[in-house]
Copies of this chain bind each other. A is one copy, B any other.
Amino acid sequence: MIKAAIVGGSGYTGGELARLLCRHPKISLEAMTSRQNAGVKVSNVMSFLEGFVDLRFEERLRDGDYDLVFVAAPHGASMEVVPELLRRGLKVIDLSGDYRLSDATVYKKWYGLEHKDPQNLGRSVYGIPELFRERIAAADLLANPGCYPTCSALGLAPLFAKGLVEGHAIIDAKSGTSGAGQQPTPVTHHPACASQVTPYKVGTHRHAPEIQMVLERLAASDVDVVFSPHLLPIVRGMLCTSYARLKEPMDIGSIQLLYREYYHGKRFVRVVPGTPSIASVVGSNFCEIGVASAGKDTVVAMSAIDNLVKGGSGQAVQNANIMLGLEETSGLDFPGLGV
């Protein structure tokens, strides 16, 4: 068994990693750290893990012969612990935003922080396996993508990779509240958000430059990204409705065919004839995509994921599998809830 640890494990991302790893056939979860809950049994904090994770949260990662460390700390905190882990020779998968943007200046602009580990920015590999699989296998520092970039980029990738659309993308994203993390805030206070859909950080969200980076890499040219996230009154799941305009007329049947071909052989991406369903992917690592046309020349790409799985911990496990030479689907090969 491969030995793994989770640093910063008491949030939703950490709990979700533990939920997935506890039934992984090849990876054994050996440690979880949490400053806040140090010394407490993991299953006392997360009752659903009782009988599956028999660990106590540790203050900090003990020495040990781990093969891989998942860092589930918030941005800003990750770049404080990652350098030391790399020095110890460990493979690292960072789930924060700290190692996603290749340029420290861009990082500072959007995150408002000076990057403390700029030398490792070039070393990090951005991990959406369906789009950038080749470099992931060789990575020792993997930047696990944000939920919004994963979902929207998978929805738009065939259009930009094949050069079919102009360099302008509008992403109207709707996310469940678990994406906001475990800390209560006025925005995620139930009376304030439960009978609403709440647009927030329109044009200013940190995932905008990350989406732009991915689309430009696919298109090999400039892309102007308009990103409007909305908070949905559901807990898990995300839908991105993304808009781009065709350079040349193309009927929707051909576009759908193109999508199916583009994702042929990608186990976790499912192209459906109609509109995608969040319920079909909740709890699983799947992304469901539907595509439609509207107006004169606009393509509407709709993509649904579970923000905590394919948009976070599940994709991290998928990346781990690739980095470790395991089956890409190992520990993730089960369907969503459906209902």
Q: What is A's interface to B at a CB cutoff of 8 Å?
A: 12, 15-16, 19, 22-23, 46-52, 168, 170, 172, 174, 176-178, 180, 182-186, 188-200, 202-203, 208, 224-228, 230, 232-237, 239, 241, 243, 267, 270, 272, 275, 277-284, 286, 288, 290, 292-298, 300, 302, 308, 333-339
Nearest-neighbour CB distance to chain B for A338, whole angstroms, equals: 4
**Given A193-B190, A197-B174, does the pair A19, B226 have CB atoms closer than 8 Å?**
no
A19 touches which of B194, B286, B338 (Cβ 8 Å): B338
**How many Å lie between the Cα of A339 and that of B226 in the bound state?**
30
Q: Do B270 and A226 touch (CB < 8 A)?
A: no
**How many Å lie between the Cα of A279 and that of B278 in the bound state?**
17
Q: Do B174 and A191 touch (CB < 8 A)?
A: no
**How many Å lie between the Cα of A155 and that of B268 in the bound state?**
38
**How many Å lie between the Cα of A233 and that of B236 in the bound state?**
13
Please give the count of copies of this chain that the complex contains: 4
* A284 partner residues in chain B, CB cutoff 8 A: 48
* A190 partner residues in chain B, CB cutoff 8 A: 177, 180, 188-190, 193-194, 233, 235
A196 touches which of B185, B279, B333 (Cβ 8 Å): B279
Nearest-neighbour CB distance to chain B for A51, whole angstroms, equals: 7
Q: Do B202 and A300 touch (CB < 8 A)?
A: yes
Q: Which 9 A-B pairs rank lowest in CB-CB distance, beginning with the nearest? A: A203-B294, A184-B184, A48-B338, A226-B295, A172-B172, A48-B280, A177-B190, A184-B189, A202-B292
Question: A234's closest neighbor in chain B, by CB?
Answer: B195
Q: Do B170 and A298 touch (CB < 8 A)?
A: yes
**How many Å lie between the Cα of A94 and that of B299 in the bound state?**
34
> Can you name 15 A-B residue pairings with CB atoms under 8 Å?
A15-B339, A170-B170, A170-B298, A176-B191, A184-B186, A188-B189, A195-B235, A197-B197, A197-B234, A197-B278, A202-B302, A203-B300, A228-B300, A283-B283, A283-B337
A191 touches which of B180, B199, B239 (Cβ 8 Å): B180
Q: Do B196 and A47 touch (CB < 8 A)?
A: no
**Given A178-B191, A189-B190, does the pair A270, B50 have CB atoms closer than 8 Å?**
yes
* A293 partner residues in chain B, CB cutoff 8 A: 203
**Given A184-B184, A275-B198, does the pair A294, B227 have CB atoms closer than 8 Å?**
yes
Q: Do B292 and A194 touch (CB < 8 A)?
A: no
7 new A-B pairs (CB below 8 Å) besides A48-B337, A183-B189, A199-B241?
A: A51-B335, A170-B298, A196-B277, A197-B197, A198-B277, A226-B298, A235-B279
